[in-house]
Chains A and B, each alone.
Chain A
């Protein structure tokens, strides 16, 4: 059980199966790498993986693509046609395509780390990355709003057209809060919370399954461990879906937010 205390400074390994660290950040520290913790290494690794995938998938510019090139191309064209052009429109969509593509691929790889053997840790389950990306989206859609509509963007939010005058101030305040505060917050937290929840659930089921299966709780409880482990494997498959879906949702909502800034609602 000594491996269980990898990141914990003080732990009574003789009596405790699970040791609680003083700070949650201790869990991600590596004993040998100084300031480089797991999150930092994996975040950079995810970026390099995306870069390599794009490089090897597109460098040949081949007329007849290989299987790998087809996969990369179809992901890229999916973001371009279904999200960028499909949501924002032909006129403005291609302008935001590089950002949306970066977003989608980076989040996809980062999320899928939660179900990658020997990694099993989504970098997006640390709040830093979701907050940063949500802020970039926020800055982009606010800038797009002012660029395309000028001051009318803010006016359209505060004094929304097509709403009875009596409740305009109320709707205006709701809109203002919703667009400028709730949007980035929900964007970041949705991703972060989904990935944390999935990761915790997966860890809990697989780990307790493993603990019971190994006979730590007595031989009579081995079947319980089997049950947990099986359920954990089911959740594992579910987590693959969640990882892809959350990357898609984050990208899609970013596109939708930009679209509502570019084309004012009537």
Chain B
């Protein structure tokens, strides 16, 4: 293999040396090679013209539109995410407002209940107090009446004993009562 290879190289060396001997051969195109070159170049050109250039354009366009599509999708997703975030922030703000509203309402309710309870208690206390006072006043009146009657009776007894007998019990009683009533009037 190597030997053949070297032989080819050596043969090729001849080109340089031969140029002097038959240089025109080297500079004039061999007709068959020229035709082969034309055919070969036409093959390449047709492939480039009919296939490679359209294929390249198509590929680049496809890639461009794919990138554009991805960018647009990403932008849409970003916008959606932003709107979602805004929505969430609004929701959170609403929830916070509602919570503080509830707390405020609770506080107000509590205060009202407290005031209510206090007022009720006060009313009840004053009612109890009034009742007690009324009761006490009644008691006193009753005691005073009894005392008065007792005093009158006692006074009559005493007077009877002093005067002896014969006092009109009924008239004397009226007299005493009148006296006591005068006393009451003088006191008042």
Contact = CB atoms under 8 A, between A and B. Distances in A.
Interface of A: 3-4, 6-7, 17-18, 20-25, 27, 35, 37, 39-40, 43-44, 46-48, 50-51, 54-55, 58-59, 61-63, 73, 76-77, 80, 97-99, 101-102, 105-106, 118, 120-121, 123, 125-129, 131-133, 136, 196, 199-200, 202-204, 206-207, 210-211, 214
The main secondary structure of chain A at its interface with chain B is: helix
A257 B14 CA distance: 35
A129 B37 contact: yes
B73 to A, nearest CB: 15
A202 B5 CA distance: 13
A203 B9 contact: yes
A18 B14 contact: yes
A54 B12 contact: no
B44 A61 contact: no
Contacts of A210: 2, 6, 9
Contacts, number: 181
Given A3-B4, A58-B56, A47 B14 contact: no
Interface stretch (B27-35, B86-94, B128-136, B142-150): B27-35
Nearest to A59: B55
A102 B4 contact: no
Contacts of A55: 47, 51
B137 interface: no
Contacts of B178: none
Given A37-B32, A51-B43, A106-B44, A58 B51 contact: yes
B176 to A, nearest CB: 132
Contacts of A80: 56
Contacts of B27: 127
Contacts of B21: 20
Contacts of B34: 128, 131-132
A102 B27 CA distance: 24
Residue with the highest number of chain B CB atoms closer than 10 Å, among A21, A24, A101 = A24
B165 interface: no
A200 B48 contact: no
